[in-house]
A and B are shown apart, each in its own frame.
Chain A
Amino acid sequence: MPEGTTIERNDTGYPIYLDYQATTPTDPRVVEAMLPYFTERFGNPHSRNHRYGWEAEDAVEKARAQIASILKADPKEIIFTSGATESNNLAIKGVAYFHRDRKNHVVTVVTEHKCVLDSCRHLEEEGFEVTYLPVKKNGLIDLDELRAAITEKTVMVSVMAVNNEIGVIQPLAEIGRICREKGTYFHTDAAQAVGKIPLDVNAMNIDLLSVSGHKIYGPKGIGALYVRRKPRVRLQPLITGGGQERGLRSGTLPTPLCVGLGEACAIAEREMGEEAARLEQLRARFYDKINARLPEVYLNGDLEQRIPGNLNLSFAYVEGEGLMMGIKGLSVSSGSACTSASLEPSYVLRALGVEEEMAHTSLRIGIGRYTTEAEIDAAVDQIVANVSKLREMSPLWEMVQEGVDLRSIKWAAH
């Protein structure tokens, strides 16, 4: 682990954090870079007539260049937003609204983040047509299906770079090539991809790309949208006002947050290779130990086309929320229905064809910058102990041990 990247906690007793796809702590080096812009350098970056404003503007522009650099883009192509949710809304609705006279069709994927799916639902209510591509069992889209879905009315294709639940990486370069051939824009929600995998908007023919601050050890409340200039992508702003950010996103820029996002990108760009190798090793350690000690554990999503910091496992015959209650020393998330307000199991896992009963038994393990080997080992011990205990009290496990085929039983849905 690079120096200066540990986070000291004064109070002990906190669970081990293994939920890095939900959010990440802000890197102390990022906080350090942000601090002056809360106090002595508090100027409005849009104040053109005095030193306070210039100083803030310089800081914001440096951050913009840092974000552009990790995407291999031009700084002029970066728009600051409040986060990936806003970026996705702006990309999808903004492009669709601008081109609505000529084109009325959007292609996306069933496993997208809710903010993409919901933006598409809104477009449908306004008369647009949306195609939701299915995914294969490994979580990746079928490129032939994508090709077939694009028509001359298709204004954009929106496919996430990395899935937030199962960590799988979509074939961005191939998707970009198809979109370019067909003359439609390619937007990608890269909230979970920036700093985790190399991205190149030109090599991958990406026209719009959403960035989140808090998923990459930056602050919460800031994100960015890359919008291609050559050839120029036109979009209609959703937030209007003083015309900041080339008129695409009005509102005074939050200088400290912009600086934080920039610094987070700079660190990620510098350390990505080393970090990925370290996380991959930790993940392999976790996965191998679990498999050695527990039967009937199933991986959800492709193992190869996956970011190193994610595992999504189904522990058959043990319900996810019940399991989470046992592994008190770990902070993870589950695809079980019981952990969500909707009482529906994860729509992402369902889209992979994971059966509902298996979706209920899933845990998402997110490994990140501050995870240690000792934490991985402690996590394995807790999970193994609790899965074993809960299987002993699972009627399903008992029936399977007795050789009963669970599918032969007529279950009463409730």
Chain B
Amino acid sequence: MAYSDKVIDHYENPRNVGALDKNAPDVGTGLVGAPACGDVMKLQIKVGADGLIEDARFKTFGCGSAIASSSLATEWIKGKSLDEAASIRNTQIAQHLSLPPVKIHCSVLAEDAIKAAVADYRAKQGKSREAAE
């Protein structure tokens, strides 16, 4: 299968690979996919006091398209609000990377990873607010 230039670029120069402290209160972590399916993505966000995503990191077990989808996702969500980030659709990722039909699930996983990270952050915030009250 021939990969698009954008997939190759993200695969060879992945943006924002790494990890944030998953126990920090301002960090949300999303872990989606399954090893048995050949794709696992971990996407993390660090949210600033202004409610904007100030940093994002990912690690992915998967094919080149999965790595590219998660790399692109971290690039796109930086500087966005949580609602903006969570509204990113897989179709936008798939279109930007010119993913073939058999690789659409990689973009779905990236969308899920963003949503999972946002949900984790919000859950943490909810808990700390409860604890404060």
Contacts and interface: CB of A to CB of B under 8 A. Distances in A.
Given A393-B60, A395-B41, A412 B33 contact: yes
Interface string A317-351: 11111100110000000001110010101000000
Interface stretch (A151-159, A268-276, A352-360): A352-360
A48 B37 CA distance: 60
B45 interface: no
Contact of B59 (A355, A357, A394): A394
B36 A396 contact: no
Contacts of A411: 33-36, 40
Interface of A: 317-322, 325-326, 336-338, 341, 343, 345, 355-357, 360, 392-398, 406, 411-414
Interface SS of B by simple majority: mixed
7 contacts: A325-B3, A355-B36, A357-B35, A411-B35, A412-B32, A412-B33, A414-B34
Counting contact residues on chain B (CB < 8 A from A), the size range is 20 to 34
B31 interface: yes
A413 B59 contact: no
B36 A322 contact: no
B64 interface: yes
Nearest to B8: A325
Given A393-B14, A395-B59, A412 B34 contact: yes
B75 to A, nearest CB: 15
B63 A322 contact: yes
Contact of A356 (B36, B58, B67, B105): B36
A322 B35 contact: no
B109 interface: yes
A322 B108 CA distance: 18
Contacts of B3: 325
Interface string B99-119: 000100100110000000000
Given A319-B62, A338-B63, A395 B17 contact: no
B46 interface: no
Contacts of A392: 17
A322 B39 CA distance: 10
B32 A322 contact: no
B82 interface: no
A349 B59 CA distance: 26
Nearest to B67: A322
Nearest to B43: A395
B17 A318 contact: no
B48 to A, nearest CB: 24
Contacts of A338: 38, 62-63
Q: Which 6 interchain pairs have the tightest Cβ spacing?
A: A411-B34, A357-B35, A395-B42, A356-B36, A321-B63, A360-B38
A325 B63 contact: yes
B102 A343 contact: yes
Nearest to B116: A412
Given A317-B61, A319-B63, A338-B63, 4 more contacts: A341-B102, A360-B35, A395-B40, A413-B34
Given A395-B31, A414-B105, A414-B109, A325 B62 contact: no
